[in-house]
Structure 1
């Protein structure tokens, strides 16, 4: 873990809130000059703390109104199966996250699709690419909280 000072943390909070703000605005928020802000951002990027900058989109307004969590259990635990599973899920743009889990569940997949037909297509594509023992899905009825901001 990299040691961050208070200014680094304030910069990260500000960038998580709005990565498009100017260096001048950022510097004003954290009480640094434009150049000092830029140097710290570059250092945070070099350290791998800042991995990238993205634009957050409204999925529903783009026709991707159904959020789904897919629970996967498998009897295959060999490295070649995991590599095939990883490549298959990475290649599917509807899949936003894949997590290897502890407990009864082997993997949890988070996906965004237009509707139930979109989910069915995703499911069919996934089982064609990699053998799975048991797949079940839970559909989000209401997003109460969704954020990309880490608690600093």
Structure 2
């Protein structure tokens, strides 16, 4: 379901902006009544366009104010190594995102920890879990922009 019509795109945009919005408000914003709006939301969920609804939290208020982007180069690209790596990163909740990359890095991780000591513990846990060729860490000094909402085109085409 990649061909979303304008109403579907507006529904998705509204839910990404605020998933707590009542159906009645979403319906008003997209020009539908409540029942057809709810049915479209259900279809978007069933099609995998909408994959979940979450509350966003401030990492500083949770004591997780240090964000680290970790680049990993690996010595082995076998399926066994990838599976072991997947298990290792799944077992470390401070690793928020993992991307397999093209280019110089093999993997890029976004990590949220309380401080440098917590990152050092995570680093040791990760590097003790399996062989890694190189690890490069970049420490964020300030989060200047953050969003979880994709830039959905809500204009009439």
Q: How does 1:127-138 map to 2 (within 5 A)?
A: 127-138=127-138
- Quote the Cα distance in structure 2 between the aligned partners of 1:61 and 1:136: 27
The TM-score with structure 2 as length reference comes to: 0.94
Aligned to 2:41: 41
Task: Give the deviation of 1:75 after TM superposition.
Answer: 1.1
Aligned to 2:122: 122
The higher-RCO structure (CA 8 Å, 6+ apart) is 2
What SS class does the counterpart of residue 61 from structure 1 fall into? Answer: coil
Task: Give the deviation of 1:27 after TM superposition.
Answer: 0.8
- Quote the Cα distance in structure 2 between the aligned partners of 1:28 and 1:63: 38
- Quote the Cα distance in structure 2 between the aligned partners of 1:143 and 1:149: 16
What SS class does the counterpart of residue 61 from structure 2 fall into? Answer: helix
Q: How does 1:53-64 map to 2 (within 5 A)?
A: 53-64=53-64
Structure 2: 5+ residue stretches without partners: 153-157
Give the paired residue count.
152
- Quote the Cα distance in structure 2 between the aligned partners of 1:104 and 1:14: 37
- Quote the Cα distance in structure 2 between the aligned partners of 1:118 and 1:144: 23
Task: Give the deviation of 1:74 after TM superposition.
Answer: 1.2
Structure 1: 5+ residue stretches without partners: none
- Quote the Cα distance in structure 2 between the aligned partners of 1:109 and 1:23: 36
Structure 1 runs of 4+ aligned residues shifted over 6 Å read: none
- Quote the Cα distance in structure 2 between the aligned partners of 1:106 and 1:131: 13
- Quote the Cα distance in structure 1 between the aligned partners of 2:74 and 2:18: 40
Task: Give the deviation of 1:76 after TM superposition.
Answer: 0.9
The TM-score with structure 1 as length reference comes to: 0.97
Q: How does 1:131-150 map to 2 (within 5 A)?
A: 131-150=131-150
**Does structure 1 residue 68 correspond to structure 2 residue 55?**
no
Over the residues paired in the alignment, what is the CA RMSD in angstroms? 0.8
Aligned to 1:8: 8
